[in-house]
Amino acid sequence: MTAIVVVEDEPDIGDLLALYCRREGWTVHLSTDGPTGLEAIRAREPDFVILDVGLPGEMNGFDVCRELRQTSDVPVLFLTARDDEVDRILGLEMGADDYVTKPFSPREIVARIKAVLRRGRAESAPTRRVFGPLVIDLQRLEATLDGRAVALASQEWALLEALVEHQGMALSRQQLLDIAWGADWIGDPRTVDVHVRQLRRKLGPDLPLATLRGVGYRLG
């Protein structure tokens, strides 16, 4: 059974995350500060950690992650409230697998956890794609263009990941939605077009993403 530890000091957010994770059938342990969070992670050895950056007391989320990384490679998703925190996550070797900025939708978090867990299970699959100056690293959740990090929103990542994992295959909008957002996601397939536009804008012309009229999209 998938076990999650959530370290978050705001009770509303912690409870909401716990609720959504339990709905997936995952067990959830909630800690509200750095030291007890670290202790819980070490004791429980969870499959996944959700870690708020802004924790009360001496130890913030970065400190927890740094400590944790001495002994564990458990996937960590940071919750951040501020852009400068995002810069630190992207800029430093913080050892995070992913991050989400507040406010976020819990569904999005669940989708991202599933994506990271899936990646963990598919370890043998190559996770890095190079398209000229554009490098997409699915393992590290990192896209760089001419060596500079490109910040992608979580749904953009989910879509990009779906495209990369099915490189060379034509995918309909509905297929992309099912893969990227999960089959239980209810929404307009045109959402895919919106995110494709964002990906093209952010990643530039080296992303070999073709629009197939009347069909959908194909990468490569």
The contact set with Ca ion (CB under 5 A) reads 9, 52, 54
The contacts found for 187-196 with CB under 8 angstroms, 24 or more apart, are: 192/159, 192/216, 192/217, 195/155, 195/156, 195/159, 196/159
Cβ nearer to Ca ion, comparing 6 with 150: 6
| Shortest distance (Å) from residue 87 CB to Ca ion | 18
Of 52 and 161, which CB lies nearer to Ca ion in the complex structure? 52
What sign does the CA torsion over 119, 194, 183, 99 have?
positive
Q: Is 86 exposed, middle or buried (0-12, 13-18, 19+ CB in 10 A)?
A: middle
Q: How far is the CB of 46 from Ca ion (least distance, A)?
A: 20
CB of 148 to Ca ion, least distance (A): 29
Residue nearest to Ca ion (CB): 54
CB of 56 to Ca ion, least distance (A): 7
Nearer to Ca ion, 20 or 78 (CB): 78
Comparison of 34 and 75: residue with beta carbon closer to Ca ion: 34
136 bridge partner residues = 129, 143
